[in-house]
Amino acid sequence: MAVLTIRDALNQALREEILRDENVFIMGEEVAEYDGAYKVTRGLWKEFGDKRVVDAPITELGFAGLGVGAAMAGLRPVIEFMTWNFSVLASDQIINNAAKMLYMSGGQFNVPIVFRGPNGSAFQVSSQHSQSFEAFYANFPGLIVVQPSTAADAKGLLKSSIRDDNPIIFMEQETMYGMKGEVPDDEDFLIPLGVADVKREGKDCTIVARSFTVPQALKAAEELEKEGVSVEVVDPRTIKPLDIDTIVNSVKKTNRLVIAEESHPFASVGAEISHQVMERAFDYLDAPIKRVSCVDAPMPYARKLEVLALPSVEKIVKAVKEVCYL
């Protein structure tokens, strides 16, 4: 296995899928000559040229619409948003065309398209560039929502997304591109969509974490182990469809649940998970479910306030101790 950053794992997945399928192409702002705002598409334009790696002007609605049309015509576009915050401008094409076309056409048109880019907080990019959109897009039928947390997951899930016949919302995390991990060398390495992963096994409490909070949850589990608390960490990886069975089975074993997420708390994915666990495993819970989220306020610019606003290892440890009555 190679050790790659998440950035390079995504780049490898894109390159392999372009080589594998002549219908795959990438389009977005600065993805070609500039190698991408976060260098995920580094070197691809030089290798594959203008037809496979296409620079778009600053018009998210326009190039998202071009991508939807291309997908309906049989191509497999990968549309990069410089940040998911900018996808708001393209949301009409994503929600009203990409998500609904299969239904509205009576099954005549698939839309095999991947919308991808960084989601969530970064480093002092303030209120308009620090938002998490997974719950927003997961609310609309017809969209698959993916959030990888490791280099291997990033590669395997992106390759599966490109090969899927449905529109995919693929959300990376802006501060995690440099994180390293082992990645299988197999060019056909795929991770199925809709399957959660138990990142760490335990018996006293379950933490469900995704993307930004997975490394935090694993670190919290290490610290809690020193105090005799055994924590299981479950990463859904795909937000919709949600592998609720893996989460419920973990809760049935540990009898406690903490959900750690970067998004705001109201109407979040964590709220949905809480609801489904209450429906399916209420009698197994020995304590109320706790959630650790971003504060319910716009993200501040000041670094110290930004850190206070976000989930942290310390907040997760505190929540686990509360549900374990420690």
Q: Which of 16, 17, 80, 129 is catalytic?
A: 129
Phi then psi for residue 239, to 5 deg, are -80, -40
Furthest CA-CA distance within the chain = 59
Alpha-carbon gap, residue 196 to 145, rounded angstroms: 13
| Core vs surface per residue 218-235: b (16+ CB within 10 A) or e | bebbeebeeeebebbbbb
Alpha helical stretches, state H, 238-302: 244-254, 269-281
Q: Which of 29, 60, 172, 306 is catalytic?
A: 60
Active site residue 60: yes
Q: Cα angle vertex 262, ends 242, 235, to 5°?
A: 35
The amino acid present at 150, given as its one-letter code, is: T
Tell me if residue 69 falls in helix, strand or coil: helix
Phi then psi for residue 200, to 5 deg, are -155, 135
Active site residue 223: no
Residues in Cβ contact with 223 at an 8 Å cutoff, skipping those fewer than 6 apart: 313, 317
Q: Cα angle vertex 139, ends 137, 141, to 5°?
A: 95
Kind of pairing between the strands at 257-260 and 238-240: unpaired
Where in the sequence numbering do the catalytic residues fall?
60, 129
